[in-house]
Amino acid sequence: MSAARVGVVTFPGTLDDQDAARAVRHVGGEAVPLWHADPDLKGVDAVFLPGGFSYGDYLRCGAISRFAPLMEELIPAARAGLPVLGTCNGFQILCEAHLLPGALMRNAGLHYICRDQGIRVENTTTPWTSDFTEGQEIVLPVKHGEGRYVADQATLEALEAGGQVVFRYVGGNPNGSLNDIAGIRNEAGNIVGLMPHPEHAVEDLTGAPSTDGRGFFTSILKKLVNA
């Protein structure tokens, strides 16, 4: 598994890049730092877009990051099949880049939410979810102010019909997301975005609510090693 190279992107204002890199290393992968201003993916096998407040969340969350030089390389690579996972701000960036449909808006009630959250795995066919079982309920931290997933009715119906809803909130919807959606994938399945943070739930040492986040990283490493 050590040959699998997962790029971890850092934008100005990114908070969780080191957590993501640690999670990759924790399961035996090589974490490769990717800088927003450098249009070079360094030959990585997959990319992780971590959470934070890129560019201070000015304009809209992820709206400026979407135009970073690195994204000029990442967007066509993702469309060509490169596995990409975006969590929280990373999910917002993927939507702004039109790699995933819909948008993330202010939470219902307009409060910032920080808590442990139950989610249900709805799809295990992606490179990031194959180590889970369909219907499995896991617990991951959430921490966001703009996590309410919205899309027009036609898009929602297409997501549901096409099996593109990957995660759904259980035990209460923290932000008012339509259809309790916590995470989605693109039609091809190589791009996944979700609001919860798997990188914060990989080992007991950190006091995380679970180690359920490990499944994301073991999934992608197995996919890359067996490719």
Can you give the length of the chain in residues?
A: 227
Q: What is the pLDDT of residue 90?
A: 95
Instruction: Say if residue 73's pLDDT is above 90.
Output: yes
Q: What is the pLDDT of residues 115-155, one digit of tens each?
A: 999 999 999 999 999 999 999 999 999 999 889 999 999 99
Q: Check 26, 36, 88, 122 and give the catalytic one.
A: 88
Please report which confidence band the pLDDT of residue 226 belongs to, taking 50, 70 and 90 as the band edges.
confident
Could you please state the CATH topology (level 3) that the domain comprising 5-226 is classified under.
Answer: Rossmann fold (3.40.50)
pLDDT score recorded for residue 116: 93
Find the helix or strand (DSSP H, E) in which 143 lies. strand 137-144
- Each residue's pLDDT tens digit, 115-124: 999 999 999 9
pLDDT band at 74 (very low <50, low <70, confident <90, very high): very high
Catalytic residue flag (residue 187) = no
Query: What does the pLDDT average to over 84-97?
Result: 95
Angstrom CA distances, 71 to 8, 38, 58, 99, stand at 13, 9, 18, 11
* Residue 111: active-site member: no
Mark whether 197 is an active-site residue.
yes
* pTM for the whole structure: 0.94
**What is the average pLDDT score of the chain?**
92
Q: Would residue 135 be called left, alpha or beta, if left means φ above 0 and alpha means ψ between -120 and 50 degrees?
A: left
Q: What was the pLDDT predicted at 56?
A: 64
Does residue 32 carry a pLDDT above 70? yes
Q: Indicate which residue of 96, 122, 146, 199 is catalytic.
A: 199
Residue 62 has pLDDT above 80, yes or no: no
Q: Domain ranges in the chain? A: 5-226
Confidence of residue 1 (pLDDT cuts 50, 70, 90): very low
pLDDT tens-digit readout, 21-30: 999 999 999 9
Amino acid at 137: E
What pLDDT, on the 0 to 100 scale, is given for residue 189?
97
The predicted structure's pLDDT at residue 225: 87
| Catalytic one of 36, 144, 197, 200 | 197
Structure confidence by residue, pLDDT tens digits, 168-215: 999 999 999 999 999 999 999 999 999 999 999 998 877 678 899 999
pLDDT score of 3:
66
| The pLDDT of residue 67 is above 50 | yes
